[in-house]
Amino acid sequence: MLLGCIGDDFTGSSDLANTLAKGGMRTVQYTGVPDGPAGDDVQAGVVALKSRSIDPGKAVEQSLAALEWLTRQGCTQFFFKYCSTFDSTADGNIGPVADALADALDAAKVIVCPAFPGTGRSVYQGHLFVKDRLLSESGMQNHPLTPMTDPDIRRWLAPQTRHSVGHVAAAQVFAGAAEIKQALDDQQHAGHRHIVVDAIRDEDLIEIGRAARDLPLITGGSGIALGLPGNFGCTASRPPWAGQAGKSVVLSGSCSVATRAQVDYHAARHPAREINAVDVINDRLAPRDVADWLLGADGLPLAYSSADPEEVARVQEAHGRAASSESLESFFAEVARLAVQGGACRIITAGGETSGAVVEGLGLDSLEIGPEIDPGVPALRAGDDLVIALKSGNFGSEDFFEKADRLLAGDA
């Protein structure tokens, strides 16, 4: 294995694995830290953790365990993948995990770059944009677990880390890999260990990746991985794929603006059932009821709890943020398990926490990376008769669920 990657959730990890596979690296995504060795043909291993919203100490512990396993596989470079909207809080996990990995690898300068222009995320003057909106005005300010209220990545990261945060500006990035490398050196000499790097185009990310050729640790969204396969002599390719016939279901727990639009679009055309969070929390709705409904419905049925931010806030105020989230995650995990047990062969999920819960509920150890459905979202083979798509909340076109099902079935 050449490149070892640690993702803080499952959708982001599949996003990264997709980018590396398209770049020509033989890539496998693992659910948690594997017990045994990787296959001899794996060039990039992505260890997917569910650590984004847990206690920082536990996130560090899990990430270091992943680093240890990846080191044993022979990796020569490491990537810490977090969301392209930098999901965290002032007490969040990105800084502590980056610090711990940097210490373990003796990394003197660490790139911080969540940009992913293919999905509208760009970093300019150290500020994160979602399309033409600052992050704090994009809808992410209403995230139920990690509300993002400041678009300045330097300011947002500073309280999370023991180290000074520097910046490489867009003008230096536009000048290419050599100038970026010099700018990183200059920031290190100025006393900065974590260095936010601007990027607004795929070309910028490719040049940043080239500049990072000799760095032991890189952190960011999956976009920066565009430039990494070439450093290992890999060239772009399309992963082989065979579709899966059978029953398909969709599970959505994301409350993002994009997912709520996707739910509205889909519900107007296919069977859809709303999951009331209060009914789940109070055990008034059983996973078996929803699984049976999904299996019995025609077409491409959708079960969703994707409410607007005001409704989510009311539920969290009444029942607690952690308890509300854990109840819904456990519920969707059990629905997925029962649906697969009942014969479902294609599972499409929306939302990072929901997707992670479903993967854990299904007991999936590793995922084969298939072709891209939409930017950042690949098709994944989870077994001989099971394929899945794990969509981050803000990703995908309005008709994503239909598009995903066609590709998973092999009809696209």
Half-sphere exposure of 189 (CA within 13 A, CB side): 6
- 379 and 263 fall within a common domain: yes
Cα–Cα distance list, 278 to 57, 97, 340, 352 (Å): 31, 34, 25, 21
Is 237 a member of any domain?
no
CATH of the domain at 153: 3.40.50.10840
Is 239 a member of any domain?
no
Classify 363 in phi/psi space as left (phi over 0), alpha (psi -120 to 50) or beta.
left
In tens, the pLDDT along 328-366 reads: 899 999 999 999 999 999 999 999 889 999 999 999 999
- 325 and 203 fall within a common domain: no
Q: What sign results for the dihedral spanned by CA atoms 392, 397, 398, 401?
A: negative
| pLDDT at 412 (0 to 100) | 64
- 23 and 119 fall within a common domain: yes
Helix (H) or strand (E) holding 219: strand 217-220
Query: pLDDT tens digits for the chain (412 residues)?
Result: 999 999 999 988 999 999 999 999 999 999 999 999 999 999 999 999 999 889 999 999 999 999 999 999 999 999 999 988 898 887 889 999 999 999 999 999 999 999 999 889 999 999 999 999 999 998 888 887 788 889 999 999 999 999 999 999 999 999 999 999 999 999 999 999 999 999 999 999 999 999 999 999 999 999 999 999 999 999 888 777 899 999 999 999 988 889 999 999 999 999 999 999 888 988 999 999 999 999 999 999 999 997 676 777 787 787 777 777 888 899 999 999 999 999 999 999 999 889 999 999 999 999 999 999 998 899 999 999 999 999 988 889 999 999 999 999 998 6
Is 142 a member of any domain?
yes
Distance CA 85, CA 135 (A): 7
Distance CA 237, CA 321 (A): 43
What radius of gyration, in Å, describes the C-alpha atoms of the chain?
20
Count: domains in the chain? 2
- 183 and 259 fall within a common domain: no
Long-range contacts of 151-158 (CB under 8 A, 24+ apart): 151/127, 152/126, 152/127, 153/86, 153/112, 153/114, 153/123, 153/126, 153/127, 153/128, 153/196, 154/126, 154/196, 156/86, 156/88, 156/90, 157/94, 157/95, 157/112, 157/194, 157/196
Is 83 a member of any domain?
yes
Q: What sign results for the dihedral spanned by CA atoms 352, 354, 360, 362?
A: negative
CATH of the domain at 391: 3.40.980.20
- 110 and 164 fall within a common domain: yes
DSSP helix/strand/coil, 411? coil
Which tokens hold the place of 219?
Answer: 């952190």
Is 240 a member of any domain?
no
Name the residue range of residue 51's domain: 3-232
| Domain end marker among 173, 203, 232 | 232
Residue 104 contacts residue 63 (beta carbons within 8 Å): no
| pLDDT at 184 (0 to 100) | 98
- 150 and 267 fall within a common domain: no
| Domain end marker among 207, 232, 257 | 232
- 202 and 264 fall within a common domain: no
Helix (H) or strand (E) holding 69: helix 56-72
Which tokens hold the place of 122?
Answer: 């760009």
